[in-house]
């Protein structure tokens, strides 16, 4: 009766990887229990998640190397992998909310979230925003319910909202990665989607466009700029190391807040549990409850299915 915070299945969003082959599941070595799904396998998993009460999934494609180039032009292909996956999922599980990632890193040879300026080697903000706007329209036309720009380019939310509205896609929600930090916790994700291969094991430096982990006030400023530009939901990523940012943002906005328990957070819990150092189920619940307590309305977590099963069993 007096418990202040409750974690519910309806709070969870499941990030899912999809690969272009026919093998139903390909394990991700750095993420225990996580797989890359074929489109057919993805549809089955989405149906199972919906049956458990998980309301939404976020899709991340594994683009074949031969379809990558410096401009990430495969992102604009209306028959690319993520668009095919969206159409298949929406046909099979129409009531499930499907979220698609809007960033170029799965499609570029260099693994950055945008196109590079040939003179400086840095990401060209304005040229990237133009591509992201087109990409959002392509995904929404395929059936994506929410588009989620994760690139951290300046001005991209306003540009995407304008492009969607001009295309008649006024009901498409924008889930903005508004406070995305240049974090060391993204490594397993980059392995899973293959956006790290161009740079080998040296992790790409994205500090010219992602946030400095030391800067909470800057994160709040960026998030409120996204709100002013028309974002429908604001996200903080990663979640666990940035609970203070979630709390500050909760006090500053009335919009829904999402938080992403990222691959490194998930992998750390599982690695410790595998060695017998943690009770996985208890630690997993506590970590997610802490994110909810800080002020998140929605939580993206690779533990969504396991957590949903555990909550349903209580």
- Catalytically annotated residues: 180, 237
- What b/e sequence results for 177-214 when a residue is b if at least 16 CB atoms lie within 10 Å of its CB, and e otherwise? bbbbbbbebbbbbbbbbbbbeeeeeeebebeebbbebe
Q: How far apart are CA 213 and CA 237, in angstroms?
A: 11
Whole-angstrom distance, CA of residue 307 vs CA of residue 184: 25
d(CA 211, CA 21): 35
| Inter-residue contact 267 to 294 (CB < 8 Å) | no
Task: Tell me the C-alpha distance between 37 and 26, whole Å.
Answer: 7
Q: Which residue has the tokens 């396998």?
A: 41
Region of residue 183 (phi > 0: left; psi between -120 and 50: alpha; otherwise: beta) = beta
Give yes or no for a contact between 198 and 172, defined as CB atoms under 8 angstroms apart: no
Written as six digits, the tokens of 239 are 């979640």
Place of tokens 């974090």: 183
Secondary structure class of 213 (helix, strand, coil): coil
């Amino acid at each position: 009766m007096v418990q202040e915070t409750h974690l519910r299945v309806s709070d969870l969003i499941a990030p899912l990887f999809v690969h272009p082959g026919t093998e139903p599941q390909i394990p991700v070595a750095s993420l225990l229990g996580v797989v890359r799904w074929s489109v057919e396998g993805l549809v089955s998993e989405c149906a199972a998640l919906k049956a458990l009460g998980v309301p939404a999934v976020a899709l991340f494609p594994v683009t074949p190397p031969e379809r990558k180039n410096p401009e990430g032009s495969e992102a604009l292909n209306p028959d690319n992998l993520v668009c095919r996956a969206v159409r298949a999922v929406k046909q099979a599980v129409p009531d499930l909310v499907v979220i698609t990632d809007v960033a170029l890193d799965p499609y570029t040879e260099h693994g950055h979230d945008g196109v590079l300026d040939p003179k400086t080697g840095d990401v060209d903000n304005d040229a990237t925003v133009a591509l992201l706007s087109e990409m959002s329209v392509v995904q929404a036309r395929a059936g994506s319910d929410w588009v989620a720009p994760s690139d951290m380019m300046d001005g991209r939310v306003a540009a995407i909202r304008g492009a969607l509205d001009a295309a008649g896609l006024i009901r498409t929600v924008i889930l903005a990665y508004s406070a995305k930090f240049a974090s060391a916790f993204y490594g397993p994700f980059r392995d899973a989607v293959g956006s790290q291969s161009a740079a080998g094991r040296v992790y790409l430096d994205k500090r010219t466009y992602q946030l400095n982990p030391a800067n909470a006030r800057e994160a709040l400023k960026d998030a409120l700029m996204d709100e002013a530009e028309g974002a429908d939901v604001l996200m903080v990523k990663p979640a666990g190391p940035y609970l203070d940012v979630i709390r500050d943002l909760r006090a500053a906005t009335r919009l829904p807040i999402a938080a992403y328990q990222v691959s490194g957070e998930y992998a750390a819990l599982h690695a410790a549990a595998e060695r017998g150092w943690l009770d996985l189920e208890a630690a997993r619940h506590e970590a997610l409850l802490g994110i909810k307590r800080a002020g998140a309305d929605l939580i993206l977590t690779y533990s969504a299915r396991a957590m949903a099963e555990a909550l349903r069993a209580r």
